[in-house]
């Protein structure tokens, strides 16, 4: 069967594979079309596209933008974006600044909690990437303060944990609006994140659709069959596209592979056709 994967990360954000390595991994996994969706960054797209041509894997230019819905952080994926659009180029530095403002404060808290690491350690580890909490988690792991990335989040970095520091985020309308302005199709990533909101999922989707949302990532590595069915039903009822992705990050999220997630993820290639129709119309 032809597999696709519409949600993956590279070293341009908090993934552990370079764009070329990601494309080769996807090819090995039998993925015929791959969306590269780094957090608040399009820096990996050109290299992924070049390697995609070499490997015969279609690369869909994408991005994943974090935003704040009420008090909860949600992520919006953008597909078939024009990465060169000046409005995007003007906005990404603002997102980067909000991370760069937050990350040293996380490290300061960690030091207060007894972890001997510096922001220089984190930057050296992340290299040219957009620094995210997974990089900080990896440094904690390498220094022996935790045994896994998951433990780093549970003990220190997750919302509600002692080293958690929020950052300034756009509203959903701003994130979705930007994706549409740059020719992209905005899709709600990992809808299971909305379970932290009290509002019913149907109502959240209606609100997001009102500001331009076009799809829901109903098929996702960590969704149960029941969750997938529920999100699919809401998508059908509200005339939103269904999409699917693994959220592959390499070592930053061990055990998830492109195309197959934890092993039994199935993202049918025909989900792409309705999206293409929207882009070309």
Residues that bind Fe ion (CB under 5 A): 64, 75, 189, 247
Torsion sign, CA atoms 134, 44, 168, 204 = negative
Torsion sign, CA atoms 259, 264, 269, 272 = negative
Closest CA to 167 of 99, 244, 266, 68: 99
CB nearer to ligand AMP: give 168 or 278: 168
235, 209 in Cβ contact below 8 A? no
CB nearer to Fe ion: give 10 or 91: 10
Query: Among Fe ion, Zn ion, ligand AMP, none, what does residue 33 contact (CB within 5–8 Å per kind)?
Result: none
Query: Among Zn ion, Fe ion, ligand AMP, none, what does residue 153 contact (CB within 5–8 Å per kind)?
Result: ligand AMP
Query: Among ligand AMP, Zn ion, Fe ion, none, what does residue 133 contact (CB within 5–8 Å per kind)?
Result: ligand AMP
Q: How far is the CB of 253 from ligand AMP (least distance, A)?
A: 6
Residues in 12-71 that interact with Zn ion by CB under 5 A: 14
Token pair in block for residue 250: 């390499």
Q: How far is the CB of 134 from ligand AMP (least distance, A)?
A: 5
Token pair in block for residue 18: 């370079």
x-marked contacts with Zn ion along 136-155 as a string, rule CB under 5 A: --------------------
Instruction: Report in angstroms the alpha-carbon separations of 181 from 62, 81, 148.
Output: 14, 9, 39
Closest CA to 65 of 188, 241, 249: 188
Which residues are at the interface with Zn ion (CB under 5 A)? 14
């Amino acid at each position: 069967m032809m597999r696709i994967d519409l949600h993956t990360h590279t070293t341009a954000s908090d993934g552990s594979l370079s764009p070329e390595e990601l494309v080769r991994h996807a090819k090995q996994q039998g993925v015929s079309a791959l969306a590269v969706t780094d957090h608040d960054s399009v820096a990996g797209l050109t290299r992924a596209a070049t390697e995609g041509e070499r490997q015969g894997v279609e690369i869909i230019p994408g991005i994943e933008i974090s935003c704040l819905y009420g008090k909860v952080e949600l992520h919006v994926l953008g597909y078939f974006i024009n990465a060169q659009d000046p409005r995007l180029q003007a906005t990404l530095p603002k997102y980067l600044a909000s991370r760069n403002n937050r990350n040293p404060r996380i490290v300061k808290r960690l030091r207060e909690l007894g972890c001997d690491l510096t922001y220089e350690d984190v930057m050296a580890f992340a290299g040219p990437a957009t620094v995210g909490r997974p990089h900080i988690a990896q440094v904690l792991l390498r220094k022996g303060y935790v045994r896994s990335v998951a433990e780093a989040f549970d003990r220190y970095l997750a919302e509600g944990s002692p080293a958690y520091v929020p950052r300034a985020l756009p509203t959903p309308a701003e994130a979705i609006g930007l994706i549409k302005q740059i020719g992209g199709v905005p899709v709600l990533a990992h809808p299971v994140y909305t379970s932290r909101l009290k509002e019913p999922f149907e109502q959240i989707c209606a609100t997001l659709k009102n500001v331009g949302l076009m799809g829901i990532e109903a098929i996702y590595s960590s969704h149960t069959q029941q969750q997938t069915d529920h999100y699919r039903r809401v998508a059908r009822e509200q005339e939103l596209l269904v999409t699917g992705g693994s959220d592959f990050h390499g070592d930053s999220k061990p055990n998830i592979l492109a195309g197959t997630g934890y092993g039994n993820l199935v993202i049918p290639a025909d989900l792409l056709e309705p999206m293409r129709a929207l882009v070309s119309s």
